[in-house]
Chain A
């Protein structure tokens, strides 16, 4: 239920950073920490391994079949800060759509009824 602030800069990915990545074939992005980086000499190509802080295993089982590492193009952004609990509003609205309609309806009524 927290909101995460993400940023993507051209800085190379380094261990410790919390990154957001998509695995081919999975729709929900994963937000985990980088624990291993192997960056090539000549190119900017990099092999990345991630792991959730509280998980026992690294994320290899989550990666696409046969893939041992993530590459730069899998990474969509880095987490730079967060606001706790604010995301609950979104979650409640997604799980019980009626609340979303009620909220929008109430706001709409307010707009209509205000004379300014």
Chain B
């Protein structure tokens, strides 16, 4: 056990083992974080609400989305992916989740925000079930670590409703 090869092998194996242990410890430290996120969303305006040529309903809306997700960030956080989805049920579908807006928060400093936006992705139903439809706006976040396990959670905001008539 004195040759260069043996020593190099021993050192390399030891180094990789320590590296793996550190990655595991870094990820494990994330489980001690007890985050207190806050979020809210308001629909400022329904811009239009139509039945398409292919018989699917589509709605365009302008939203205010605000949140404080700074408590989600730890030293092991690379970025947080956040999105707001409209969630509703129809006679045909037990669950519909349509992402309306998403963003990437690269650092804790950017985690408290207020966004004024129209829906980034088209809110299209499968069919024509949206008139007067009640729906939730749920803010989901996915924490992408520098290394290790990804965490995800959400805040459900209820009480939204689409118009009874097309406009």
Contacts and interface: CB of A to CB of B under 8 A. Distances in A.
Contacts of A15: 83, 85, 97-99, 140
Interface in A58-99: 58, 79-84
Contacts of B104: 53-54
B14 interface: no
Contacts of B85: 15-16
A14 to B, nearest CB: 6
A41 interface: yes
A6 to B, nearest CB: 12
A36 B121 contact: yes
B6 A33 contact: no
A47 to B, nearest CB: 7
A95 B2 CA distance: 34
Contact of A39 (B27, B93, B148): B93
Interface residues of A, number: 28
Contacts, number: 78
B90 to A, nearest CB: 8
Interface in B72-113: 81, 83, 85, 91-99, 102, 104
A35 interface: yes
B23 A83 contact: yes
Contacts of B140: 15-16
A90 B62 CA distance: 46
B102 A81 contact: no
A109 interface: yes
A20 to B, nearest CB: 14
Contact of B99 (A35, A80, A113): A35
A26 interface: no
Contacts of B145: 81-82
Contacts of A53: 81, 102, 104
Interface of A: 14-18, 33, 35-41, 47, 53-54, 58, 79-84, 106, 109-110, 113-114
22 contacts: A15-B99, A35-B83, A35-B102, A36-B99, A38-B96, A38-B97, A38-B126, A39-B94, A41-B93, A79-B150, A80-B149, A81-B27, A81-B145, A81-B148, A82-B145, A82-B147, A109-B5, A110-B5, A110-B6, A110-B9, A113-B5, A114-B6
